[in-house]
Structure 1
Amino acid sequence: MRGQNIGHGEKPNQTEDLGGQGSLAPPAAVSPETRLLSAFKKDTEDRKVDLARTEYFSEEGKTFEFRIVEKIKKQLSMHPTYGPECSSDLGLTEFTRRVTEVTLGKSARALMESKVLGVLTTGFTAAVHLGASLLEHWSIYVSWNSIYCTCCPGPSVDSVARIFQSAGVPDIRYYHYWDNKRCCICLENLLADLEKAPENSVVVLSASAHYPTGADLSQDHWYLIANLIMRRKLFSFFLLPFHGLCYGDLQRDAWPVQHFESKGMEFFCAQSLSHSFGLSGDPLGHLLCVSKRKSRLSSLKLEAADLVTSLCEAPSAGGVYVVTAVLSNPAHCAGWQTEVKNVVSRCMLIRYMLREKLRLLGNPSCWNHLTQQRGLFCYIGLNAHQVEFLSAVRHVYLLPDGCLNVSAINGNNLDYISESIHLALTVSP
């Protein structure tokens, strides 16, 4: 597949073998997940399976709550008058401090020199939207040329693009990430596209648990990308929507962010804590801003406070308290880390089992990419017709780009899902 520099507002031809970056849809749009959930609820078939949700599901097929989180919530319910008040419009100070430390590392130079701003938001989408809005303020210092996102033939990239567009960013461009024929990251094309990006362009990067592909860049890849971004004078905007659910370790998942900080680079990082803490229905996000100059952060802080007041509702106090309590207490944090690692281990086991089931069914395709990917999501490699066949004939619901949530697969539905995928490849090639 040959790389291309995609022009102003253009997306690659939908028939090309591209994959890309995903995010949650902006508030004004109906997400693919929402549309599929509606169709799933209307489906009366007993064997129906929803693989398009973004929550983590247990082996019993239920949304999962960590034991330590449940314990802290019970403690909170015993004190109904307690409600941690945000010390400023930017959120509870202790929350932003703990999340910033676990993302950058306690010994990060930017932290020591007070060149970091953390902002509490109502979920991941709000964090991305706030960061996109703050780029306009940042442009007082640097004149942005355009925003570069990864591209894919499906709805996932449209979501993150819509967030930037809704924040007033008109020039959205795309770079290659996924080679659908080889089922792997197309690094050469990625680097070639970024090499062509004009100076002062903003590059949107997935730090870990890449959505929808589940395929992450290696540390060697990140060394190359960091050097290119520094040399070309680009600005990084990291995405961490499933922070912790790639390796089961918040700091390891954030290694690319820490690497960029260690090289003295400026960047934004939008992240979610809801998934990694099992806070289903309690959206909790965070925007991290790292600057080379304290003076720039001071004015950015004032702008962020105004934007949070106008753009975002306040997150629930309970979710903020839970995350703060876990990250502030070494015993709680150790217990939570163990549970997160168990979640990640189960997802990897499901990947191996699905790969083996598909192999035994006699499908000639190579399924090694299933176990090379990580996190909750898997880019199975089906086309739009095959995905449509699964929902219409087999009542198995995936996102239109072939992304599925591996945690929704369990011992009760593994055989049926495997057979359904095999049929989709056989009957609807």
Structure 2
Amino acid sequence: MANRILSLRSGLKERLQRLGTPGTWDHITSQIGMFSYTGITRQQVDHLKEHYHIYMLPSGRISMCGINSSNIEYLSQSIHDTVLLYPNNEHKHKLTDEGKPWVLPVVRKTELQLANDETLNHEYLPVLGLEAFSSAATSMLLGADHNAILEGRAFGVQTLSGTGALRVGAEFLARQLGYRTFYFSQPTWENHRLVFLNSGFTEPREYRYWDANNRTLDLNGFLEDLREAPENSVIILHACAHNPTGCDPTHEQWEKIAQVIEEKKLFPFFDSAYQGFASGELEKDAWAVRYFASRGLEMVCAQSFAKNFGLYNERVGNITVILKDKQDLIPVKSQLTLTVRGMYSNPPNHGGRIVATVLNNPQLYDEKESIRTMANRILSMRSGLKERLQRLGTPGTWDHITSQIGMFSYTGLSPRQVEHLVNNYHIYLLKSGRINMCGISTKNIDYVAKSINETVLLFPN
């Protein structure tokens, strides 16, 4: 088996060199084992998948076990053609590599504190997770003085980040309560559909959300689709910083949405991935969830602590469950225990303990200003980009850049304009015109604005 893999490594390297594929490929044979880090870029990986049906990780890692004498020629030629089409880009204004990941000072401080705490160990957590974490997460979401908490109708379950919370909640609703129909916004985060289908839901449906022509929320279409939804449909709602549009309903619009959901006996399922990260204010970003709960609606909310605490690889999440009757709490907890036990048994400790320590320690909690620092940086980049485009006289309106919120902006740029920006200015955004605002900095914002202006003038909508 080992010799077979070594032979395929040599064969792939030789064929790429024979074809004259740009770059060096010696690393294919200097590496060893099942996998090879090819050095292929994310754009090249996407092209290989879409056009040649060759599948590897976004990092460029490929399983050598999937290569054989029947497909090695095809693989080599496909990689060669792709590298020629999308050469490795070291352009000085390239945005995908801008900056470095930032560890929040309060997180680093807490990690040091925990590392020196000799009372801590590596025993398993309970199935439903660290109580100190889940209680604090639920209080952060609803506010410690919310009636649902004071009346004992709300509780949390620690999960594997936000995706894990979505899966636990969806599987509970499908397996234990028999829900089958779920609605998600058009557009939405692509994983919503997959998670719910894998959890046992069978009827995926969309509700209108984004008005592309006016670059704003399609409230009338949204409400109309909700009114036509069958009773007991689950409605996935973005708590704040809608992904991918960045367009959130106003308070008045949320009130109308809640009213229709209540009247039609629909079940709200919030996804809160950006609390505190969107506006810089924990309370402001939780307004919609708190309002729905104040109406007495039974609901669940998936929470992620990846963005607001920067704990991406710790997989820290929580699902908050809000009930109408506190007498249902023990039976629901029991069913969720069975769900989690059969899914991943129990969650990891480290990330949850970091968050619990910060949220439960007044002194550390006051240091959460670093969350506002991240949010304010994005807000500043939004304002700066809009101002520069207006100053340049770029055709069109750009108010939507600052009216949107969160990591992403739907720029309104057309696919043709996006293609031109990618190929000629090395500014990378999706074909839909969505750009990640985190990739914009004080060092490149003038270049981004100038590039967009020149592109819009060259290819007007």
SS in 2 for 1:260: helix
- Is residue 2:116 matched to residue 1:78? yes
Query: In the TM superposition, what is the alpha-carbon distance from 1:315 to its structure 2 partner?
Result: 4.5
Answer whether contact 1:209 1:374 (CA < 8 A) is retained. Answer: yes
Output the amino acid matched with 2:450: E
2:367: which partner in 1? 335
SS in 2 for 1:49: coil
Query: In the TM superposition, what is the alpha-carbon distance from 1:85 to its structure 2 partner?
Result: 5.1
Q: 1:80 to 1:388 in 2, by over 3 A?
A: farther
SS in 1 for 2:92: coil
SS in 2 for 1:417: helix
SS in 2 for 1:356: helix
| Aligned residue among 47, 72, 87 for 2:92 | 47
CA distance in 1, matches of 2:427, 2:118: 42
| Aligned residue among 220, 229, 232 for 2:264 | 232
1:417: which partner in 2? 448
Query: In the TM superposition, what is the alpha-carbon distance from 1:258 to its structure 2 partner?
Result: 0.9
- Is residue 2:205 matched to residue 1:205? no
Q: Give deviations 1:376-413, integer Å, cap 9, x for gaps.
A: 22111123333333333322222343222212211221
Answer whether contact 2:208 2:218 (CA < 8 A) is retained. Answer: yes
- Is residue 2:159 matched to residue 1:127? no
Q: Give deviations 1:297-326, integer Å, cap 9, x for gaps.
A: 333322222222332375542211110111
Output the amino acid matched with 2:268: S
Q: 1:145 to 1:133 in 2, by over 3 A?
A: closer
1:399: which partner in 2? 430
Q: Give deviations 1:107-131, integer Å, cap 9, x for gaps.
A: 2222223222311111111111111
CA distance in 2, matches of 1:36, 1:378: 22
Q: 1:284 to 1:50 in 2, by over 3 A?
A: farther
Query: In the TM superposition, what is the alpha-carbon distance from 1:295 to its structure 2 partner?
Result: 4.3
| Aligned residue among 386, 390, 406 for 1:375 | 406
- Is residue 2:421 matched to residue 1:390? yes
Q: Give deviations 1:201-259, integer Å, cap 9, x for gaps.
A: 11111111111111111111111111111111111000111121122122221111111
CA distance in 1, matches of 2:424, 2:128: 49
The correspondence of residues 144-293 of structure 1 with structure 2, limited to 5 A, is 144=179, 146-152=181-187, 156-293=188-325
Answer whether contact 1:180 1:381 (CA < 8 A) is retained. Answer: yes
CA distance in 1, matches of 2:353, 2:87: 37
Answer whether contact 2:176 2:335 (CA < 8 A) is retained. Answer: no
CA distance in 2, matches of 1:428, 1:316: 51
Output the amino acid matched with 2:218: C
Q: Please, what is the CA RMSD of the aligned residues?
A: 2.7
CA distance in 2, matches of 1:226, 1:163: 24
CA distance in 2, matches of 1:72, 1:62: 21
Answer whether contact 1:126 1:312 (CA < 8 A) is retained. Answer: no
Q: Pick 1 or 2: higher relative contact order, CA cutoff 8 A, min separation 6.
A: 1
| Aligned residue among 110, 113, 134 for 1:96 | 134
Answer whether contact 1:246 1:253 (CA < 8 A) is retained. Answer: yes
SS in 2 for 1:396: coil
Answer whether contact 1:86 1:93 (CA < 8 A) is retained. Answer: no
SS in 2 for 1:397: coil
Deviates more, 1:77-86 or 1:290-299: 77-86
- Consecutive unaligned residues of structure 2, counting only runs of 5 or more, are 1-48, 51-55, 61-81
SS in 2 for 1:418: helix
CA distance in 2, matches of 1:42, 1:165: 37
Output the amino acid matched with 2:214: R
CA distance in 1, matches of 2:421, 2:339: 43
Q: 1:43 to 1:225 in 2, by over 3 A?
A: same
CA distance in 2, matches of 1:313, 1:253: 31
2:103: which partner in 1? 65
Q: 1:419 to 1:37 in 2, by over 3 A?
A: farther
Q: 1:420 to 1:314 in 2, by over 3 A?
A: farther
SS in 2 for 1:118: strand
Answer whether contact 1:47 1:395 (CA < 8 A) is retained. Answer: no
Answer whether contact 1:148 1:172 (CA < 8 A) is retained. Answer: yes
Instruction: Point out the structure with max Rg over C-alpha.
Output: 2
Query: In the TM superposition, what is the alpha-carbon distance from 1:84 to its structure 2 partner?
Result: 6.8
Output the amino acid matched with 1:227: Q
Answer whether contact 1:201 1:235 (CA < 8 A) is retained. Answer: yes
Output the amino acid matched with 2:221: N
Answer whether contact 2:134 2:156 (CA < 8 A) is retained. Answer: yes
- Is residue 2:355 matched to residue 1:323? yes
